[in-house]
Copies of this chain bind each other. A is one copy, B any other.
Amino acid sequence: MILKSQVEWALHCCAILAGLPDGRYLSTKALAEFHGLPKEYLSKALQSLSQARLVDSTLGPSGGYRLSRPPAEITFLDVVEAVEGKERSFVCNNIRANNPCRPEGYCDAGPCAIARIMWDADEAWRASLRAVTLAMLVQSLEKDVPPALWRESFEWVMKRVG
């Protein structure tokens, strides 16, 4: 059970978009170059973000993507779910229904105990991701990345911004 690499890509891209000046767009090409990723395939991840309304896009030269809301209002969960989907990681196939002792037409009152427990864990995972915003991510990154590299990266992006 491994998350798609597109989740990682989308998060890194969102981190860049969160640092953009208000209203400016950055293209798939620039994002792919900056992260060393295949442009065509990264494009699919960005389209997922777009469909989830996390980013706006424009066409034409100097087109690209920007966040549709302030970074403080976009959570990790938003991004992860945009790419990975909202389905729970545990799927209950209700195999208890195959119990040979069951009377015909027996109907279960609710989800089985195993599913409830697994779904609780899933919700704990989601709650953890919901607690972190892109604004917090940028803060963390700024603390981690040496100031010189931070500045150069910003300038690299600004040269390509629409």
- The chain A residues found within 8 Å of chain B, CB to CB, are 1-5, 7-9, 11-12, 15, 33-37, 76, 84, 87, 89-93, 95-103, 106, 109-110, 112-114, 116-118, 120-122, 124-129, 132, 137, 140-141, 144, 149, 152-153, 156
Give Cα A145 to B87, complex, Å: 27
Smallest CB separation, A68 vs chain B (Å): 20
- List the B residue with the shortest CB-CB distance to A113: B140
Q: A117: which of B110, B126, B132 is its contact (CB, 8 Å)?
A: B132
Give the residues in chain B near A118, CB-CB below 8 Å: 3, 11, 76, 129
- List the B residue with the shortest CB-CB distance to A94: B8
Q: Is the CB of A153 within 8 A of B101?
A: yes
Inter-chain pairs besides A11-B114, A106-B149, A117-B132, 14 sampled, C-beta below 8 Å: A1-B1, A1-B84, A2-B87, A5-B93, A8-B90, A11-B118, A35-B99, A36-B95, A76-B121, A101-B152, A110-B144, A112-B141, A124-B127, A125-B125
Q: Is the CB of A15 within 8 A of B129?
A: no
Total copies of the chain: 2
Give Cα A109 to B126, complex, Å: 28
Secondary structure at chain A's binding surface: helix, strand, loop or mixed?
A: helix
Give the residues in chain B near A149, CB-CB below 8 Å: 99, 101-103, 106
Q: Is the CB of A92 within 8 A of B124?
A: no
Give the residues in chain B near A129, CB-CB below 8 Å: 117-118, 121
Q: A99: which of B5, B34, B106, B127 is its contact (CB, 8 Å)?
A: B34
Smallest CB separation, A132 vs chain B (Å): 5
